[in-house]
Structure 1
């Protein structure tokens, strides 16, 4: 992340913190009023997260800002975003798979389908590290920063007012990097996330035919954009034709998936098989 961007994030965060203090609110009280997570308020105020325009407007309304001050904080956000676009790109944002993370930030409804790699928002830190290691543009330091940014953005899963629907093929659960222990921890995370009220997790079991042969993963962010994933990187599209096409595809995959108790049973079954693998490796 460029020093210019960091400085602009710090300025935006400091201004919001001062406005909160003027309003006599704690961070927790502001988060409750705005309908966002308290960690989001803390990270924004400390210059560690760039809020989406939707989140910024929620905070502005919760603070009771007038039109002039609302315009001021919007301009501060625009300055941060301008710094991102003009930045050096030294962290390999596009090639390393951060496009989907950025697009998800401002969406209230996220629908993600994956046929090989776990969705970005569900990846454990160690799994994400293996994902970023495949990028030729990242050194060890950049990989660490990219992993930290991805894990930070996963706090969005817990924010009220958001809905995330993930559909995976069973192959995703059985395509694994590293060691069996990595996937045991990852599958345990999936079980925890599946229990959230803001998340629906579905899996298309191998015993069911897929309605369409999947060629790549994709993520729909509201009805505004779709992130198409593949090699060498990701592409963000706002075209109406792409949005309609992938929304229809997602509906077909969702219809073929199992949810709830059947997913939990499948996850436990796969975990048992990874435990057997782990035992075999350590003999």
Structure 2
């Protein structure tokens, strides 16, 4: 296994390569449009070179990405820059989320239910920073590493052959850190994830009764384990009977949730409320 920094470089490269493929461009055409050398594009996409902010900006401009997608790629670059150069540099602190990281990376099917905080795989870097800062008195550098790890973990959302399903209560959308502008960026992120072919996002609105009173959030990794995040760290449950119980509970939450067009309309309605809180004019 390579260093943490190398793994994040590969994630950044894979995302850029996927975006280029989606745009129907060859590496040579992208390089020409961006005004960079073709070897640069090749090295970045293969995780052998960290692009400067300027080079990344040129590539994003040439791909003609919307702001949400461009922000995701910039977050991946930030994750690379914040990563320690070797595996041993990680301090093993629970903030790093190492248990859930490994469980999610190895799973082909990830199902996450949350009732207060957004699932880790959906958080923007700024939202994640608030989550970590509020949960611990760790030094800023430890929080920075934890945020970077969280952003890097999200690369699995884009990998073919994987499926991710997220179910949230509406309380998650309305429990917010920082300021309303932070949440506007977060809603952009949710809408972008909902458009992926590899992910499904659902919300249980307040107008519907929950089928089970939620006690905590949890993440199912395949049919083998469930990870529960707490204030003190992470707990992994791999007993087949307990995992099956969590699967049944998740299915009940999933049946109560809005998906597709209804979900997007609901997100946009709540987003307009945050725009009003932030002092923006809604349209």
Same fold (TM > 0.5): yes
Aligned-partner Cα distance in 1 for 2:143–2:231: 18
Matches within 5 A, 1:17-166: 42-43=46-47, 90-92=91-93, 94-95=94-95, 97-136=97-136, 138-166=138-166
Whether the 8 Å CA contact 1:96–1:135 is kept in 2: the answer is: no
Question: Counterpart of 1:134 in 2: which secondary structure?
Answer: helix
Whether the 8 Å CA contact 1:115–1:169 is kept in 2: the answer is: yes
Matches within 5 A, 1:185-224: 185-224=185-224
Aligned-partner Cα distance in 2 for 1:39–1:102: 26
Aligned-partner Cα distance in 1 for 2:96–2:215: 19
Question: Counterpart of 1:219 in 2: which secondary structure?
Answer: strand
Aligned-partner Cα distance in 2 for 1:246–1:41: 38
Aligned-partner Cα distance in 1 for 2:44–2:154: 11
Aligned-partner Cα distance in 1 for 2:44–2:213: 38
What's the CA shift for 1:144? 1.0
In the other structure, the counterpart of 1:254 is 254
**Structure 1 unmatched ranges of 5 or more:** 1-7, 18-27, 33-37, 47-82
Matched pairs, number: 215
In the other structure, the counterpart of 2:272 is 272
Aligned-partner Cα distance in 1 for 2:113–2:199: 14
Provide the TM-score with structure 2 as the length reference: 0.68
Structure number with larger C-alpha Rg: 1
Aligned-partner Cα distance in 2 for 1:197–1:39: 27
Question: Counterpart of 1:113 in 2: which secondary structure?
Answer: strand
CA 1:39–1:126 in 2, change beyond 3 Å: closer, same or farther? Answer: farther
Query: For residues 67-88 of structure 1, what are the alpha-carbon distances to aligned partners after superposition, in whole Å with 9 as ceiling and x for unaligned?
Result: xxxxxxxxxxxxxxxx97xx68
CA 1:233–1:212 in 2, change beyond 3 Å: closer, same or farther? Answer: same
Provide the TM-score with structure 1 as the length reference: 0.68
Query: For residues 223-245 of structure 1, what are the alpha-carbon distances to aligned partners after superposition, in whole Å with 9 as ceiling and x for unaligned?
Result: 11100122322201111122111
Aligned: 1:182 with 2:175: no
Aligned-partner Cα distance in 1 for 2:225–2:256: 24
